[in-house]
């Protein structure tokens, strides 16, 4: 790109000074020196502005890619850790135990101690909502999240749907990003992949 701009600049300047005789050059420079200087100044300003614009666009793209990579690592950290896998297994077990009517007010054993299932549900909802907010803000590609996590998000949504609905009665923004994206993904995920156990 710089080479093209340099050729353009040379192509504009050289014809103005490419006269055979020294007298013609001196006469031409005396008669049109003000116009040449003004034209040259405008040309340089335009080139510098264009280079600045191009550098700004390249920098913006680089920063956006860097932000997307950082966001993807954060999403991976939130959804693909061992604790999250165990929590999902526990809510799926509750779904199976209760035959589709989970009771999140009971306690389950996690790491050798008894904890309320609602604590697990709240942590999962918080993580899912953070991830879906990142998608909503376009910090990461919706297509990428669909390919990587749609089945997991939809299955968890099926299990927690009633709890989310009750929670949204008192706070309509509760898990809003998650419920919106999960409903969208639900229509795209094949039925056989939505089965919980």
**How is the chain split into domains, by residue range?**
2-64, 80-193
What does the alpha-carbon distance between residue 113 and residue 126 come to, in Å, rounded to a whole number? Answer: 22
Judge whether residue 27 has pLDDT over 60: no
The tens digit of pLDDT for each residue in 142-186 reads 999 999 999 999 999 999 999 999 999 999 898 999 999 999 999
What confidence tier does 10 reach under pLDDT thresholds 50, 70, 90?
low
Please report the pLDDT score of residue 8 as a whole number: 52
Write down the pLDDT at residue 39: 80
- pLDDT confidence tier of residue 38, bands split at 50, 70 and 90: confident
Q: Is the pTM of this model over 0.85?
A: no
Query: What Cα–Cα distance (Å) separates residue 24 from each residue in 10, 14, 32, 39, 178?
Result: 20, 15, 12, 20, 76
Token pair belonging to 158? 């099926």
**Distance in angstroms (rounded) separating the CA atoms of residues 160 and 98:** 13
């Amino acid at each position: 790109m710089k080479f093209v701009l340099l050729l353009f600049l040379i192509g504009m300047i050289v014809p103005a000074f490419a006269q055979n005789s020294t007298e013609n050059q001196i006469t031409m420079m005396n008669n049109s020196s003000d116009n040449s200087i003004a034209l040259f100044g405008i040309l340089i300003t335009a080139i510098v502005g264009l280079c600045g614009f191009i550098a700004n666009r390249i920098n913006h793209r680089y920063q956006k890619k860097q932000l997307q990579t950082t966001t993807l690592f954060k999403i991976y950290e939130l959804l693909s850790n061992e604790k999250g896998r165990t929590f999902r297994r526990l809510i799926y077990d509750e779904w199976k135990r209760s035959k589709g009517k989970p009771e999140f007010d009971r306690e389950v054993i996690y790491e050798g101690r008894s904890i309320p299932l609602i604590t697990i549900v709240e942590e999962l909802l918080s993580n899912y909502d953070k991830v879906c907010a990142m998608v909503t803000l376009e910090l990461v590609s919706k297509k990428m999240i669909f390919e990587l996590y749609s089945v997991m998000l939809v299955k968890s949504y099926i299990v927690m749907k009633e709890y989310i609905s009750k929670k949204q009665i008192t706070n309509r923004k509760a898990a809003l990003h998650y419920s919106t994206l999960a409903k969208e993904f639900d229509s795209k995920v094949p039925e056989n992949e939505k089965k919980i156990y």
